[in-house]
Amino acid sequence: MNESRNDIQRVTSGAPWEELVAYRRAVRVGHQVFVAGTVSVDDDGQPFGLGDAEAQTSRCLEIIAQALDKAGSHISHVVRTRLFVTDMRVETQRAVGAAHRKVFAAHPPACSMIGVAALASPDFIVEIEADAVIPPGA
């Protein structure tokens, strides 16, 4: 479901938390799209890739790409990502980075990897936010 008001488009994923917390997966304002913090869940909303930072990162980026598509954007339009990670061991950073690189190698965004104490569930290692700018004519 997409909601539009003036030049603001709100994209929902249908996740129950969107109504409970009052947020949307993505919001498009003009040529900019802001994607909310995204964790790794399957199509039924259950945690995906338990214990696997690379799989969780890949799944987060798949969900982000779907939200961008619904907003009339594309993953290649992403100009900034924020990676929130509960395990900052070098191995985990490399796994998260490898999944990020698979998606963004051809069009790297500005990026921050931030160590956090916890996410919405102990099952989640990674949460990702993304900002996109749709180029004129795209």
Domain ranges, ordered by start, for the chain: 2-133
Instruction: Report the 10 Å Cβ neighbour count for 122.
Output: 9
Mean pLDDT of the chain: 94
pTM, rounded to two decimals: 0.93
Q: Please say whether the beta carbons of 45 and 15 come within 8 A.
A: yes
- Domain 2-133 fold is 60s Ribosomal Protein L30; Chain: A; (3.30.1330)
> What's the CA gap between 106 and 108, in Å, rounded?
6
* Strand 2-5, strand 8-11: pairing: antiparallel
Q: How many residues does the chain have?
A: 138
pLDDT greater than 70 at residue 127 = yes
pLDDT greater than 90 at residue 5 = no
> What's the CA gap between 1 and 96, in Å, rounded?
30
